[in-house]
Amino acid sequence: MSTDKQLLKKFKVVVVGNGMVGHHFVEEMAQNTDYDITVLSAESRLAYDRVHLSEYFGGKTAEDLAMTTPEHYEELGVNFKTNAKVTAIDKVAKFVSTQSGETYHYDKLVLATGSYPFVPPIPGKDQDHCLVYRTIDDLEDIAASAKVSKVGVVIGGGLLGLEAANAIKQLGLKTHVVEFAPQLMGVQIDGGGGRLLRQKIEDLGVQVHTSKATSVIEKGNTSRYKLCFSDDTELETDLILFSAGIRPYDNLAREFDLAMGERGGIVVNNQCQTSDANIYAIGECALWNNFIFGLVAPGYAMAKVAAKHISGEEGEFTGADMSTKLKLMGVEVGSIGDAHGKTEGSLTYTYENQPEGVYKKIVVSADKKALLGAVLIGDTSEYDTLLQYMLNAIELPESPEGLILPMAADKPTLGVDALPDTATICSCHNVTKGDIIAAIDCGAVDVGQVKSGTKAGSGCGGCAALVKSVADNEFEKRGVEVKKDICEHFAYSRRELFDIISVEKIKTFDELLSAHGRGLGCEICKPVAASVLASVWNDYILKKPHLSLQDTNDTYLGNMQKDGTYSVVPRIAGGEITPDKLIVLGEVAKKYNLYTKITGGARVDLFGARVEQLPPIWKELVDAGFETGHAYGKSLRTVKSCVGSTWCRYGVQDSMTMAIDLEHRYKGLRAPHKIKFGVSGCTRECAEAQGKDIGIIATENGWNLFVGGNGGMKPRHGDLFATDLDDDTLVKYVDRILMFYVQTGDRLQRTSVWMDNLEGGLAYLQDVIMKDSLGINDVLEAQMEAIVGTYQCEWKTTIEDPEALKRFQPFVNSDKGDSNIQFVTEREQIRPARGAEKIAVTLIDTMENEIETADAVAEEA
């Protein structure tokens, strides 16, 4: 075998640093197997998502944030070493050496060393509990320090500083922000915006101190430390977090003689080469055109260019847009282009609404034709439109102020038609309008599919509304009517039917059909109507008028299997079961010879019950205290849980009790699709709650709530919805979310797709549920309360009703059973016979058989 030789001959690329950008480079470069790639990382772990670092405090673990794994790198054939800080470069012999003295030869070297937090030279800065905010290790230190602290100060009121302040506030500390400049976020926003932002942040209980220069950190009187400012004022604190800007990690360039910028940064050209053509620099350590890009998207663009250039392809880095939109402690902030109006001759328009806490400014060119920049505080709804005006140099309308004035009657809306195909719609994933059109060309038929196909909107989510309008516009152009009719019998969506049924107080399908539909109905509209009728009126679903509407699974209260038999799935709330009940399950399964399996939902499924066996089986189960598990319905399935703080060494809350309470609260609730819950007792997440529609993860202070996860064909993690909720608030939010979903979800829409299709996505849902932006929360809660209050076990009701039991007789005119249902034995249990295994029998008399087995059991007992 000559692999070793081949490896030796391969062109060697060494990457220093495995941050987000270094990792992106590896992924780009590894597509070409001609190169032997080696990654040297100073950190103890491989690349992780620094942009979402703060979510570490919201319950995400290091694994969740990881962007790759050792296995993945091995698969790509990439060599890597962690804890391997590079300390020297030999440009002539072309090798690098690490702190521990190992050397690595390179043909091309890529520096992706990023940057480090700048800590101002204040005496006392090197003590314990004086921390920074850049790596997972930093966050671990912060969390540890917060446990023994009451007050925290962030030094630096920029974007990152405010994010850090939010984090320590969430950790339960009294929080202060100290800023040297007279305003917050001085880089991105102007004075007016800064004033308003400050007010909003103070309203949230974070104290802001501007124009304060810290001169020394001393031992405190009431707290661990005190900050002494140059104006002779003081501030007591236990924890100090420096966020006073970042500095490029350019020490290697300085020591080994690569060209540097006056104020640091490794100088690169449009191909990202440094002054040594064999050495590239990308990401936050690189200085292009005298500018360092402190965002991840430009870094990714550089990584791509460098990888292309090394493999001999064309490509150029030509700068990047630094506009940002974000939510800081719930305050919307947007900054576009020249936010400070520094361009010669530029003019500004400003709108300020103090009572509502909204500030908006646009900067336009002297001829008022082009948008140069904008600042938005408190309301960023115009961000997308403004950004597109600027990026695509679209000519401004007659009175540009209309773009930001709230009630301007003829508010100019930027038709998405006006955007060129190259317009970036989602900057996180660099998705252009052209990409969205291409996705539709390739068969995407709704916004959800466009999003999942292009990844648009799955980053920060800020572009969700724009993605929707671009896609809808494209669908419309193609004459694809964005049709929501559920079937040929009703020209309405599920949601519209929901409104009709509740507003007009319709109680049966016949009434609905004669008033609003046509024909006889079908297998699509009937179950939808049944589900909506059940949600609105919570009637026993097998009452006569509803009976014919149900899918067979709902009619027979079991899941039909391929041979026409059913599965029997009693509810085992939270997966907790007494030995006695477990024995009952075993006895029933044995008596009726049912195939028995433990499911992923932590309960026991019994398969192979014939229709006529269902009532006696359920009678025994109900008598033993079981109730239906609704495994057949589009309704709550299971609440998966770990044992939590009751048993587990790590648990911080009683996840078991929470899971059982939730399962009993929502059992039987009819929804557009099945609903699954998960509850974990701590962030180790053993119950895999993030893969559920409603995921709940315990924290020291309460519960973190995730919404919209699912397994299945397209697994998805839920989005973090709210943090540190107490029990009551948690249940209240879940009540509202579920009821809102039940009302507005489309047929067979899981919560994830539902949420993605809400205009505004997660943020919109948060507003509806937590801020009551639609003013419907009282109604939602009352509706849920009514449903919870009228729950009944459908099996219990059925076996008590002789009329209903008739349905379970296999033939109206005979007591025989279906001879086509036959089983063979496999691993000591039954399974359906396959075609060739079936024997042509005359009908067996099942009633007799049953009595026989029952007697046999009685004898044994």
Contacts with another protein by CB under 8 A lie at: 488-489, 519-523, 525-527, 544, 547-552, 555-556, 560, 562-564, 806-807, 810-814, 816, 818, 820-821, 835, 842-843
Looking at the Cβ atoms of 166 and 743, the one nearer to ligand FAD is 166
Does 684 bind ligand SF4 (CB under 6 A)? Our answer is yes
Q: Distance between CA 10 and CA 123 in Å, rounded?
A: 51
| Degrees to nearest 5, angle at CA 711 with 705 and 712 | 155
Q: Which two tokens stand for residue 110?
A: 């890529």
Single out the residue of 16, 162, 363, 569 in contact with ligand FAD (rule: CB under 6 A): 16
Smallest separation (angstroms) from ligand FAD to the CB of 116: 8
Closer CB to ligand FAD, 82 or 381, in the complex: 82
Residue among 597, 574, 572, 576 nearest 586 (CA): 597
Exactly one of 40, 110, 731, 762 binds ligand FAD (CB under 6 A); that residue is: 40
The yes or no reply on residue 50 touching ligand FAD (CB under 6 A) is yes
Q: Which does 768 bind (CB under 5 to 8 A by kind): another protein, ligand SF4, ligand FAD, none?
A: none
Given the complex with ligand FAD, which of 295 and 438 has the nearer CB atom?
A: 295
Cα separation, 531 vs 743, in Å, equals: 11
Cα 480 versus chain centre, distance: 30
Closest C-alpha to 383, from 425, 341, 349 = 425
Cα separation, 541 vs 785, whole angstroms: 18
Binding residue (CB under 6 A) for ligand SF4 from 228, 669, 686, 755: 686
Task: Tell which one of 225, 249, 475, 556 touches ligand FAD (CB under 6 A).
Answer: 249
φ and ψ at residue 575, rounded to 5 degrees: 80, 10
Of 161 and 448, the one with the shorter C-beta distance to ligand FAD is 161
Enter the DSSP assignment of 503: H
How far is Cα 307 from Cα 317, in angstroms, rounded to an integer? 12
**Helix 509-516 / helix 494-503 crossing angle, nearest 10 deg:** 100
Q: Contacts with ligand FAD in 131-170 (CB under 6 A)?
A: 133-134, 160, 163
- For residue 331 the two structure tokens come to 């305050």
Residues 349-368, mask of contacts with ligand SF4 (x by CB under 6 A):
--------------------
Minimum CB separation from ligand FAD for residue 14, in Å? Answer: 10
- CB under 5 to 8 A by kind: which of another protein, ligand SF4, ligand FAD, none does 160 bind? ligand FAD
C-beta nearest to ligand SF4: residue: 681
Candidate segments 288-296, 376-384, 500-508, 580-588, binder of ligand FAD by CB under 6 A: 288-296
For residues 457-492, b (16+ Cβ closer than 10 Å) or e, as one string? bbbbbbbbbbbbbbbbbbbeeeeeeeeeebbebbeb
Give the span between the Cα atoms of 636 and 652, in whole angstroms: 26
Task: Name which of another protein, ligand SF4, ligand FAD, none residue 12 binds, using a CB cut-off of 5 to 8 Å depending on partner kind.
Answer: none
Least Å distance, CB 275 to ligand SF4, is: 52
213 CB neighbour count, 10 Å cutoff: 12
Contacted entry of another protein, ligand FAD, ligand SF4, none for residue 811, CB cut-off 5 to 8 Å set by kind: another protein
Q: Which of 411, 387, 523 is nearest to 465 (CA)?
A: 387
- Identify what 378 binds: ligand FAD, ligand SF4, another protein, none; CB under 5 to 8 Å per kind: none
From 63-71, 107-115, 660-668, 708-716, span contacting ligand FAD (CB under 6 A): 107-115
Considering the complex, what minimum distance in angstroms separates the CB of residue 655 from ligand SF4? Answer: 6
User: Which amino acid belongs to residue 575?
Assistant: G
Rule CB under 6 A: choose which of 143, 260, 295, 847 binds ligand FAD. Answer: 295
> Looking only at residues 637 through 676 of this chain, which bind ligand SF4 when binding is defined by CB under 6 A?
642, 644, 648, 650-651, 655
Contact 287, 118 (CB under 8 A): no
User: Of residues 597-616, which lie at the interface with ligand SF4 (CB under 6 A)?
Assistant: none
Residue 111's H or E segment, with its range, is: strand 108-111
Nearest-approach distance from CB 209 to ligand FAD, in angstroms: 21
**29 alpha carbon, distance to own chain's centre:** 29
Quick check: 305 binds ligand FAD (CB under 6 A)?
no
Distances (CA, A) of 232 to 179, 213, 226, 275: 16, 10, 12, 48
By beta-carbon proximity to ligand FAD, the closer residue of 390 and 643 is: 390
Q: Residue 261 touches which of another protein, ligand SF4, ligand FAD, none (CB < 5 to 8 A by kind)? A: none
462 touches ligand FAD by CB under 6 A: no
Residue 21 touches ligand FAD, criterion: CB under 6 A: yes
Binding partner selected for residue 651 from ligand SF4, another protein, ligand FAD, none, CB under the kind-specific 5 to 8 Å limit: ligand SF4
By CB under 6 A, the residues from 703 to 722 that bind ligand FAD are none
Is-contact 419 364, C-beta < 8 A? Answer: no
Q: Does 679 bind ligand SF4 (CB under 6 A)?
A: no
For residue 356, the minimal CB distance to ligand SF4 (Å) is: 42
CA atoms within 13 A on the CB side of 357: 13
For 307-360, give the DSSP string: HHHHTT-----------EEEEETTEEEEEEESTT--STT-EEEEEEETTTTEEE
Cα 263 to Cα 121, 249, 274, 276, 305, distances in angstroms: 17, 12, 16, 20, 25
CB of 685 to ligand SF4, least distance (A): 5
| Residue with Cβ nearer another protein (603 or 670) | 670
Residue 57 or 509 having the CB closest to another protein:
509
Chain Cα centroid distance, residue 165: 23
Cα Rg for the chain, rounded, in angstroms? 32
811 lies in the binding site for ligand SF4 (CB under 6 A): no
Rounded to whole angstroms, the Cα distance separating 84 from 22 reads 14
Instruction: Report the C-alpha gap between 246 and 116 in whole angstroms.
Output: 5
55: contact with ligand FAD by CB under 6 A: no
Distance CA 764, CA 462 (A): 11
Which tokens sit at 680?
Answer: 């974990």
Classify strands 286-288 and 266-268 as parallel, antiparallel or unpaired.
parallel
Task: Report which secondary-structure segment, H or E, holds 5.
Answer: helix 3-9
Which lies closer to another protein via its Cβ, residue 42 or residue 549?
549
Question: Residue numbers of the site for ligand FAD (CB under 6 A)?
Answer: 16-22, 40-43, 50-51, 53-54, 85-86, 112-115, 133-134, 160, 163, 249, 252, 283-284, 294-297, 299
Which residues are at the interface with ligand SF4 (CB under 6 A)?
A: 642, 644, 648, 650-651, 655, 680-682, 684-686
